[in-house]
Chain A
Amino acid sequence: MSVFEWTPLETAAKIKKKEVSVREVTEAALKRVGDVDAEVGAFLRTEEDYALRQADIVQKKIDGGEELGPLAGVPFGLKDNICTKGLETTCASKILSGFRPPYHATATRKLEKAGVIMIGKTNMDEFAMGSTSETSYYKTTKNPWDLSRVPGGSSGGSAAAVAAREVPFTIGTDTGGSIRQPAAYCGVTGLKPTYGAVSRFGLIAYGSSLDQIGPIAPTARDCAAVFNAISGYDEMDSTSMPLEIDALREIDGGVKGMKIGIPKSYFGEGLHEEVRAAVLAAAKVFAAEGAEIEEFDFPMLDYAVPAYYIIASAEASSNLSRYDGVKYGFRSEQAESLRDIYLKTRTEGFGGEVKKRIMLGAFALSSGYYDAYYNKALQVKALIKKAFDEAFAKYDMILGPVAPTTAPKLGESLKDPLAMYLSDIYTVSANLSGLPGLSLPCGFDKEGMPIGMQLLGKAFDDAKLLRAGAAYQNVTSFHRETPDIAEKGGESA
């Protein structure tokens, strides 16, 4: 049996039972990346030395009887905007080429403590700005289900790596849908946790008030285990919350008696028919499992996407100002004066999408426009939050689509950026209001591309979403489907 037919939790259980060693699974993962990643392009680079060293350390701990938790020994991939001490961290940007942070992100540190083995950094849209992973300076990631299609973004590398079964799970980040949308496009499970549930320390910021780190894995149960490992209060992040959530404790609790709201507006114009049908079919599954399903009027909030792009871009314009060629990363060799260092480094170091958003953000914050744009966007954000508060007074969770369509073809989206931005319509609201969102595979379109559904919950109801996801996956098998490429190679263990 291949290592890669096992979920992360199954892999760890086999390691615990000594059926397989940590080094064996780590080497198998590295080999598998070697076998299939030339086609998929999920990884920017692997860190073999580090991974094997960690594998031996973890094996020793396991052999010594140390309790590391339910994922000990499992290899994984980390999105390249999360800092790894001494290991290159680039955000898929030229401007951070060669940057080796002298510190771990809190999430990296916690994962190390949980005994999981980081084997490499996954590709993404440059600075997480994009919905297709095509804005990466280094490479384009392809959708494992159809190599002519995008994996989604910005955590496209992380989602594709799990879909192609290169690693048992990955870590992504989500600022406006960047975990949920690629998970949906790639037919895997992804959680964007509540804002403040996972420390952002060491996550290289895009939109600081929206960014969250979260897991991508084959199942909701695995996501719960990873969530447990990375979540919790961190004194280094003053926006993290002093709450301990154990998402595994009630993972088998089912959905009986839960009230799930279906916002009618989420199923209107613009939503692809096959996606609509798959998500509504999923609602029936929840009903069959004992949940109470009810349609309700939820304001679509036409301004959610513009508000998101103003806030995220404004914060990005400030967050990305530090990449000036003075201290680390790339510096233009053409620069001869201080002004040159700034202008040429940033001109040559940033890609088009990043520059576009920096300009948009700087404009929205500039004197005379602040009230018309940034302040307005904050007001929209407050309205969205209020609408959710009202909805969650009635419902435990809200069910809807993740994206209007399945994965588009490579090269299509960037030709029409406005349409690409609008495809974030179902995901950005969760970031604007800080709520958790879970993306689950719920079907395939007639071209065989995966369809995802999204469960949104109250702040810090991450465990409840995962529990509902697990209940769904107990009685469905969409999450068990794998693309053909997943069958290729990787038989070493």
Chain B
Amino acid sequence: MKYEMVIGLEVHTELSTKSKIFCSCTTEFGGEPNTHCCPICTGMPGVLPKLNKKVVEYGIAVGLATNCEITPYGKFDRKNYFYPDLPKAYQVSQLYLPICRNGSVEIEGEGFHKTIGIHEIHMEEDAGKLIHDPIFDTTRADYNRCGVPLLEIVSEPDFRSAEEVIAYLETLKATLQYLGVSDCKMQEGSLRADVNLSVRPEGQEEFGTRTEMKNLNSFRAIARAIAAEKKRQIEVVESGEKVIQETRRWDDDAGKSYAMRSKEDAQDYRYFPEPDLAPVVISEAWKEKIRASLPMLPRERKKKYIEEYGLSEYDARLITEIKALADYFDEVNDIVKNPKEVANWLLGDFMRLAKEGEDDSFNILLDAAKMAEIIKMIKENLINRNTGKDVFFAVWKENLDPRAYVEEHDLAMVGDDSLVRDTVAKVLAANPKTVEEYKGGKTKVLGFLVGQCMKELKGKADPGAINAMLRDALK
């Protein structure tokens, strides 16, 4: 029997506001344990939360960018549970009146183009972190992350493949980065996704029993976890048993997941409206002000690259998916005014080098002006394309000045025409047999002669010009 997957995603993104959601502590990542906290974010007796307006603005921006309805009169609710990383013993979140509802995100990839529904987006606070010390067998609490603002973006169960999930996450990540509301670093936990997955026989309307997968720290891990969970559920069904509704934890090293808790021991969070915060009232004017200030989003930018710059749909998508890359593209292109040439440069070795390093990170080490300089030197015929590549590799890591590098290493093409002419003559004289072959109609050997000339000139010449010169001489 053939099976179909049904997947819904819960994406948590940490917002990059300067201060926390209910106090003025910094949201900066890292820091010695318990140095980024105060009586408010650690929930000491008698303190009260004070809503950071920026969090609401970011929530509205994300809602508008994902075509959501913005809730004009929203509220916060308390989600109650005991855990030592949650010092108030409740998380301030939104259950009944979340800030955004009923949105959508368009995704596309190899062989699909579809719309994924957004069920809702809500604001909440992050919890702290427990650090277990195996030597002394103690557990310590670090409250630095307590109160860091989060948006939880809950999709509809609209995904049918891992590729769709990844495409959605790429699009969402790009959108959040374009809006400047989150840096979306999965390894620092500022973007996290939980996968709700079920299988059903193809053609069946009714959903199967779903599981929720947690601890997915990279896109690669998400793809692997989806494949493994699909396989596991199909095996369960095929063996005549039932999938249990439960939360599972993915172990990426082992390549498998473990059951954490089943629906039966699910906690009763006893949600109720947070009495310490006033309702979140969002006026039409406020919403429209934020709409007007939204930056160009990936979709529009891609459209511009295709229509104005003549890039292929594929190239335009690859560039615009990463905001830093698209910004870099614009900067380089502003100088060299040759979008296709810039795209070719950025989507090759450049992309590979920038993606080196940790999972999902993208680090450009070379200034845009310096990248533009390399392209310019080729256009000026100062260096040829191959030398240009060598220069790029040489300057990338330490962000060196490419023109100075060319000068220092004497890589400029030979400007002296007579030297080139002499070299051509010399090579022809040294290879009488090849010359004969060429004249006998074996024109393919011309490449060998070009190579010999370039070798003599240490690569510092325009192979096209030499090619023409040789043809001339062999007429």
Contacts and interface: CB of A to CB of B under 8 A. Distances in A.
B49 interface: yes
B13 interface: no
Interface stretch (A196-204, A387-395, A481-489): A196-204
Interface in B221-277: 268, 270-272, 275-277
Interface in B27-54: 39, 42-51
Contacts of B42: 327
Interface stretch (B79-87, B112-120, B305-313, B455-463): B79-87
B46 A318 contact: no
Interface in A199-253: 200-205, 207-209, 235-239
B84 A238 contact: no
Contacts of A208: 275-276
Interface string B38-72: 01001111111111000000000000000000000
Contacts of B50: 235-236, 238
A328 B182 CA distance: 34
B270 A342 contact: no
Interface string A389-433: 000000000000000000000000000000000000000000000
Contacts of A328: 44-45
Contacts of B39: 101-103
A424 B88 CA distance: 30
B57 to A, nearest CB: 17
Interface in B312-339: none
A186 interface: no
A326 B87 contact: yes
B425 interface: no
A467 B65 CA distance: 55
Given A322-B89, A326-B84, A327-B87, A209 B275 contact: yes
A275 to B, nearest CB: 33
B278 A239 contact: yes
A191 interface: no
A321 B45 CA distance: 11
A28 B141 CA distance: 47
B90 interface: yes
B145 interface: no
A338 B84 contact: yes
A28 B214 CA distance: 65
B78 interface: yes
A321 B44 contact: no
Contacts of A334: none
Interface in A76-106: 81-83, 89, 91, 96, 99, 101-103, 105
Interface string B338-356: 0000000000000000000
Given A321-B88, A327-B87, A365 B47 contact: no
Chain A CB within 10 Å, residue with most, of B39, B42, B80, B270: B270
Given A105-B46, A328-B44, A374-B272, A322 B87 contact: yes
Nearest to A207: B275
Of A89, A208, A314, A321, most buried by chain B (CB within 10 Å of CB) is: A321
Contacts of B43: 322
A321 B46 contact: no
Given A83-B46, A208-B276, A314-B272, A326 B141 contact: yes
B46 A101 contact: yes
Contact of A318 (B51, B80, B84, B278): B80
A362 interface: yes
A321 B49 CA distance: 16
Contact of B270 (A82, A91, A99, A317): A317
Among A203, A204, A238, A328, residue most surrounded by chain B Cβ atoms (within 10 Å): A238
Contact of A202 (B46, B271, B277): B46
Contact of B47 (A103, A235, A238, A315): A103
A204 B89 contact: no
Interface in B268-291: 268, 270-272, 275-278
Contacts of B89: 318, 321-322, 324
Contacts of B87: 322, 326-327
B46 A365 contact: no
Interface string A339-372: 0001000000000000000000010011100100
B77 to A, nearest CB: 10
Interface residues of B, number: 28
A480 B88 CA distance: 45
Contacts of A342: 82
Contacts of A315: 272, 275
Given A321-B80, A338-B84, A366 B47 contact: no
A370 B49 CA distance: 25
Nearest to A205: B46
Interface string B117-153: 0000000000000000000000001000000000000
A83 B80 contact: no
Most buried by A among B84, B89, B275: B275
B44 to A, nearest CB: 7
Nearest to A315: B275
Given A209-B275, A318-B270, A318-B272, A238 B49 contact: yes
Nearest to A199: B48
A202 B90 CA distance: 18
B86 to A, nearest CB: 9
A149 to B, nearest CB: 31
A370 B46 contact: no
A203 B47 CA distance: 7
A102 B46 CA distance: 11
A208 B45 CA distance: 12
Contact of A362 (B47, B49, B270): B270
Given A318-B78, A321-B88, A239 B46 contact: no
B45 to A, nearest CB: 4
A365 B48 contact: no
Contacts of A314: 272
Nearest to A104: B46
A236 B46 CA distance: 11
Nearest to B130: A338
A83 B45 contact: yes
A321 B82 contact: yes
A267 B175 CA distance: 65
Contacts of B47: 103, 201-202
Nearest to B85: A326
Contacts of B78: 318
B45 A101 contact: yes
A174 to B, nearest CB: 16
A135 to B, nearest CB: 18
A235 B40 CA distance: 13
A196 to B, nearest CB: 10
Given A318-B272, A326-B141, A89 B90 contact: no
Contacts of B49: 238
A328 B49 CA distance: 20
A465 B135 CA distance: 65
A435 B383 CA distance: 82
Nearest to B23: A236
Given A321-B89, A322-B87, A342-B82, A365 B270 contact: yes
B76 to A, nearest CB: 10
A366 B45 contact: no
B93 to A, nearest CB: 13
B48 A238 contact: yes
Given A321-B82, A322-B88, A101 B44 contact: yes
A315 B90 CA distance: 12
25 contacts: A82-B46, A91-B45, A102-B44, A103-B44, A105-B46, A201-B47, A201-B48, A202-B47, A209-B275, A238-B51, A238-B276, A239-B48, A239-B277, A315-B272, A318-B270, A321-B88, A322-B87, A322-B89, A324-B82, A324-B84, A324-B89, A326-B141, A365-B80, A365-B271, A370-B272
Given A91-B45, A208-B275, 18 more contacts: A82-B46, A83-B45, A89-B45, A89-B46, A103-B47, A207-B275, A236-B48, A239-B275, A317-B270, A318-B90, A321-B88, A322-B87, A322-B89, A324-B84, A326-B84, A328-B45, A366-B270, A367-B270
